Amino acid sequence: MDDPYQLCELYRHADYATLSDVAHILEARGIEADVWPEKARRSVPWASRVSRLMVRCRDLVYARWVAAGAGLDTWPESGAD
pLDDT tens-digit series, residues 36-59: 987 655 655 555 578 999 999 999
Coil, strand or helix at 78 = coil
Residue 23 and residue 66 in contact, taking contact as beta carbons nearer than 8 Å:
no
At 75, the pLDDT band (50, 70, 90 cuts) reads: confident
Each residue's pLDDT tens digit, 9-33: 999 988 899 999 999 999 999 999 9
Q: How many Cβ atoms sit within 10 Å of the Cβ of residue 53?
A: 25
**How many residues are there in the chain?**
81
User: Which domains are seen in the chain, by residue range?
Assistant: 7-69 (3.30.70.1530)
pTM: 0.78
At 2, the pLDDT band (50, 70, 90 cuts) reads: low
